[in-house]
A and B are shown apart, each in its own frame.
Chain A
């Protein structure tokens, strides 16, 4: 055992910064990380055992207890729940004879829940030993357990054809489908592999490249929308021999899966974008931070990087450009939504808990290993390549005045054609619903749980003439609550997650409760606001759903929602959004539940509250005090 650990440690030069990789290798090797391994790691990495443990305990996919031979991680995200999560869960439990969170006594099967795995368009999905199993049904769940008990191998469990495009590549062998429903300038065929590295940057300076990106007004596609050209300019001006480019592929916002499709089908474009941004900012180190859920792509992606190295598109003097040295490694995450936040991601890359850093300093000043670090989203980097190839002017002919170009949308939920849609900025929600074949729509969640829940009712109730009044002379919608809102940085900015709910869905108990569970699960626990408020807000919401709510409860929720904004990172600041956004746009649902005639109800039941203690001390009579 000790030898095994030593070999893994040597692979990473006993570098404590690579603790994530070391732990991932150990998990793969032994299935869990035992006390002995922790002590060996602590000794050889020259850190305390507590430091090793605090990293292990932070991530969903690390474990200090033995895991089973087959570990089934069933996704509990909202679309999964809409499509039969609970019956699949109970089938798994019935067939395997264990509950979720447990391992069977023979060590064969383990059942666990996990947050969104980026398969919302083909859920419910489960990850079994790093392999994705999509479109689950109770029948398939039963067959899976039967097959496992029959002694089948992991590959023997596969029940569908391998997916389209590169999903069937021998290095990937995955059942996942790309489901690309609409292509535009980013996804179209107008792309010559690595042309920008081979031919274009050779004849331009880094300043020129940054100028093109600035002129194109490209903004970060992860959701926050920071101007990319400006970020690159800051990066290029930072002094220092070493700089880092990070491609953030830790898409954890429930409902987004565009990065998964980009990395499956357009990885050359993404890696080329990393090289391009390294050229622009004079960086020499590149890291793709890949969420653990996408580990099935790892071999395949590494093969692309190898190919690039062979062709002098990575390495030293790239493409014959003297002094342009840059290489890319892939860093796996281990299951933590908050690591999508750039400073948390950097902490994670350094082998620590993925807790966001205080800013300033910003990563561009002091990022990975305190080096200037430029963090870009997958889609941003890919877009940059197309822009440099075709010019800023070409790019600015797409989209709206303040939001140029296109955006990848990950559409899921109640619609006939879930999948990836590349639309121009300025496309309205109504158009997206038409494209996706969504009828009978009640609500649309734009931007995932941290985004906005939009109500269709407001607009459908209005007649045509009334509707016209809502328009400003410019043709822009003045109304805030409608499906005619347009996807843009000025109206409805988004990282691209669109989840559709039809009229049969219970917004409060199906949707909002699920989202609150997500934030409770994924809080890193650093700020007390984000650690506690979602929990007590969920309790309050449950109280309202139970019919014990009063009007003050709605006001309490709104007021608490303001306090949460003091949290350190975007996850915490937006953790109340499911509640706030649904109160704003679906207030009538809350009003229907609360009691109008009373101003106080506590749900407190004395008999219930004393029953545990009474039965423990053997007291039968409930004594009434005068």
Chain B
């Protein structure tokens, strides 16, 4: 059996879900036997070098770069998985949904209690910067997502079981404890 190829990325997330991937501990050695990583912060490959079997997305979309990256993943991955609360629902960043984006920017760069050094009241508008979206979107609002793994972050065992199921093609082992959150 040829190795499955995996890619991961963190969009508008905190990298907590990636930390949870690392929480599979020594099983990462088993994982390396089963898969090969392509574009991912884990190996720092920036661009896809081949078609990938499984793309894992942490975080939702809050700016144009997130959207571009997500679409880039959709084009290059056979299966896309939304990993964690932010990818699935927008998560904490989505708290700004419902507040006009103008107010958010004003609070962040002009009016906020921690803004000390912006006497010229400059708003970041360099062409190199990603553009802010009006809302924070869950990934499935931008592209088709095939699987969703809930949690904040999802537990390592959940990630592990899901990967094993996707790689082996067997049904996923999903004990109640893995999706119980309180």
Determine if chain A interacts with chain B: yes
Residue ranges of A at the interface with B (Cβ–Cβ < 8 Å): 599-600, 602, 604, 606, 608-614, 616-619, 621-623, 625
Is there an interface contact between A613 and B68, defined as CB atoms closer than 8 Å?
A: no
Q: Which residues of B contact A623 (CB under 8 A)?
A: 64, 127-129, 131
Closest to B68 in A: A625
Question: Distance in Å from the Cβ of A162 to the closest Cβ of chain B?
Answer: 47
The answer to whether B19 has its CB under 8 Å from any CB of chain A is no
Is there an interface contact between B143 and A600, defined as CB atoms closer than 8 Å?
A: yes
Indicate which residue in A602, A614, A617, A621 contacts B142 across the interface (CB closer than 8 Å): A602
**In whole angstroms, how far apart are the Cα atoms of A455 and B10 in the complex?**
49
A–B complex contacts, Cβ < 8 Å, 14 sampled: A602-B143, A604-B137, A606-B133, A609-B134, A610-B63, A610-B132, A612-B134, A613-B101, A613-B134, A616-B102, A616-B123, A617-B105, A617-B125, A623-B129
Closest to A622 in B: B131
Q: Which residues of A contact B63 (CB under 8 A)?
A: 610
Is there an interface contact between A610 and B142, defined as CB atoms closer than 8 Å?
A: no
Question: Distance in Å from the Cβ of A625 to the closest Cβ of chain B?
Answer: 4
Is there an interface contact between B124 and A610, defined as CB atoms closer than 8 Å?
A: no
Closest to A608 in B: B134
Closest to A611 in B: B134
Question: Distance in Å from the Cβ of B18 to the closest Cβ of chain A?
Answer: 22
Q: Which residues of A contact B144 (CB under 8 A)?
A: 599-600
Is there an interface contact between A612 and B101, defined as CB atoms closer than 8 Å?
A: yes
Is there an interface contact between B143 and A616, defined as CB atoms closer than 8 Å?
A: no
Q: Which residues of A contact B123 (CB under 8 A)?
A: 616-618
**In whole angstroms, how far apart are the Cα atoms of A613 and B64 in the complex?**
11
The answer to whether B135 has its CB under 8 Å from any CB of chain A is yes
Write out, one digit per residue, whether chain B residues 100-144 have a CB within 8 A of any chain A CB (1) or not (0).
111001000000000000000001110111111111010011111
Q: Which residues of A contact B125 (CB under 8 A)?
A: 614, 617-619
Is there an interface contact between B102 and A612, defined as CB atoms closer than 8 Å?
A: yes
- 4 additional contacts (CB under 8 A) given A604-B67, A616-B123, A619-B125: A606-B133, A618-B123, A619-B127, A625-B64
The answer to whether B23 has its CB under 8 Å from any CB of chain A is no
Question: Distance in Å from the Cβ of B59 to the closest Cβ of chain A?
Answer: 16
Q: Which residues of A contact B131 (CB under 8 A)?
A: 610, 613-614, 619, 622-623
Write out, one digit per residue, whether chain B residues 29-71 have a CB within 8 A of any chain A CB (1) or not (0).
0000000000000000000000000000000000111011000
Q: Which residues of A contact B137 (CB under 8 A)?
A: 604
Question: Contacts A599-B144, A604-B141, A616-B123; is A610 near B105 (CB within 8 Å)?
Answer: no
Q: In this complex, which of A611, A612, A622 has the most chain B Cβ atoms within 10 angstroms of its Cβ?
A: A612
Is there an interface contact between B124 and A606, defined as CB atoms closer than 8 Å?
A: no
Closest to A621 in B: B127
**In whole angstroms, how far apart are the Cα atoms of A585 and B174 in the complex?**
37
Is there an interface contact between A613 and B127, defined as CB atoms closer than 8 Å?
A: no
Question: Distance in Å from the Cβ of B77 to the closest Cβ of chain A?
Answer: 14
**In whole angstroms, how far apart are the Cα atoms of A44 and B100 in the complex?**
40
**In whole angstroms, how far apart are the Cα atoms of A297 and B150 in the complex?**
55
Indicate which residue in B101, B128, B142 contacts A616 across the interface (CB closer than 8 Å): B101
**In whole angstroms, how far apart are the Cα atoms of A90 and B36 in the complex?**
63
**In whole angstroms, how far apart are the Cα atoms of A191 and B150 in the complex?**
65
Q: Which residues of B contact A625 (CB under 8 A)?
A: 64-65, 68, 130
Question: Distance in Å from the Cβ of B14 to the closest Cβ of chain A?
Answer: 22
**In whole angstroms, how far apart are the Cα atoms of A287 and B108 in the complex?**
55
Question: Contacts A599-B144, A604-B141, A625-B65; is A610 near B133 (CB within 8 Å)?
Answer: yes
Q: Which residues of B contact A611 (CB under 8 A)?
A: 134
**In whole angstroms, how far apart are the Cα atoms of A622 and B63 in the complex?**
13
Q: Which residues of A contact B101 (CB under 8 A)?
A: 612-613, 616
Residue ranges of B at the interface with A (Cβ–Cβ < 8 Å): 63-65, 67-68, 100-102, 105, 123-125, 127-135, 137, 140-144
**In whole angstroms, how far apart are the Cα atoms of A599 and B140 in the complex?**
13
Q: Which residues of A contact B68 (CB under 8 A)?
A: 625
Is there an interface contact between B65 and A604, defined as CB atoms closer than 8 Å?
A: no
Q: Which residues of B contact A622 (CB under 8 A)?
A: 131
Closest to A609 in B: B133
Q: Which residues of A contact B133 (CB under 8 A)?
A: 606, 609-610, 613
Question: Contacts A616-B101, A618-B125, A623-B127; is A606 near B64 (CB within 8 Å)?
Answer: yes
Question: Distance in Å from the Cβ of B68 to the closest Cβ of chain A?
Answer: 4
**In whole angstroms, how far apart are the Cα atoms of A604 and B67 in the complex?**
10
Q: Which residues of A contact B102 (CB under 8 A)?
A: 612-613, 616
Question: Distance in Å from the Cβ of A608 to the closest Cβ of chain B?
Answer: 8
**In whole angstroms, how far apart are the Cα atoms of A601 and B176 in the complex?**
33
Q: Which residues of A contact B127 (CB under 8 A)?
A: 619, 621, 623
Question: Contacts A621-B127, A623-B128, A623-B131; is A610 near B143 (CB within 8 Å)?
Answer: no
Question: Contacts A610-B64, A613-B101, A617-B123; is A602 near B135 (CB within 8 Å)?
Answer: no
Q: Which residues of A contact B141 (CB under 8 A)?
A: 602, 604
Q: Which residues of B contact A608 (CB under 8 A)?
A: 134
Closest to B135 in A: A609
Q: Which residues of A contact B130 (CB under 8 A)?
A: 625
Is there an interface contact between B67 and A606, defined as CB atoms closer than 8 Å?
A: yes
Is there an interface contact between A617 and B134, defined as CB atoms closer than 8 Å?
A: no
Closest to B137 in A: A604
Is there an interface contact between B64 and A616, defined as CB atoms closer than 8 Å?
A: no
Q: Which residues of B contact A621 (CB under 8 A)?
A: 127
**In whole angstroms, how far apart are the Cα atoms of A619 and B130 in the complex?**
11
Q: In this complex, which of A604, A610, A611, A617 has the most chain B Cβ atoms within 10 angstroms of its Cβ?
A: A617
Q: Which residues of B contact A599 (CB under 8 A)?
A: 144
Is there an interface contact between B105 and A616, defined as CB atoms closer than 8 Å?
A: yes
**In whole angstroms, how far apart are the Cα atoms of A537 and B9 in the complex?**
30
Q: Which 8 A-B pairs have the closest CB atoms?
A: A613-B132, A600-B144, A610-B131, A617-B123, A617-B125, A619-B125, A625-B68, A616-B102
Closest to B47 in A: A626
Q: Which residues of A contact B140 (CB under 8 A)?
A: 602
**In whole angstroms, how far apart are the Cα atoms of A516 and B157 in the complex?**
41
Q: Which residues of A contact B135 (CB under 8 A)?
A: 609
**In whole angstroms, how far apart are the Cα atoms of A619 and B127 in the complex?**
8
Question: Distance in Å from the Cβ of A528 to the closest Cβ of chain B?
Answer: 13
Question: Distance in Å from the Cβ of B84 to the closest Cβ of chain A?
Answer: 20
**In whole angstroms, how far apart are the Cα atoms of A614 and B65 in the complex?**
14
Q: Which residues of B contact A612 (CB under 8 A)?
A: 100-102, 134
Question: Distance in Å from the Cβ of A122 to the closest Cβ of chain B?
Answer: 39
Q: Which residues of A contact B67 (CB under 8 A)?
A: 604, 606
Question: Distance in Å from the Cβ of B126 to the closest Cβ of chain A?
Answer: 8
Q: Which residues of A contact B142 (CB under 8 A)?
A: 602, 604
**In whole angstroms, how far apart are the Cα atoms of A440 and B68 in the complex?**
51
**In whole angstroms, how far apart are the Cα atoms of A599 and B128 in the complex?**
34
Question: Distance in Å from the Cβ of A483 to the closest Cβ of chain B?
Answer: 40
Closest to A610 in B: B131
Q: Which residues of B contact A604 (CB under 8 A)?
A: 67, 137, 141-142
Question: Distance in Å from the Cβ of B108 to the closest Cβ of chain A?
Answer: 11
Q: Which residues of B contact A610 (CB under 8 A)?
A: 63-64, 131-134
**In whole angstroms, how far apart are the Cα atoms of A431 and B49 in the complex?**
70
Q: In this complex, which of B63, B68, B131 has the most chain A Cβ atoms within 10 angstroms of its Cβ?
A: B131
**In whole angstroms, how far apart are the Cα atoms of A621 and B131 in the complex?**
10
Question: Distance in Å from the Cβ of B19 to the closest Cβ of chain A?
Answer: 26
Question: Distance in Å from the Cβ of A550 to the closest Cβ of chain B?
Answer: 9
Q: Which residues of B contact A617 (CB under 8 A)?
A: 105, 123-125
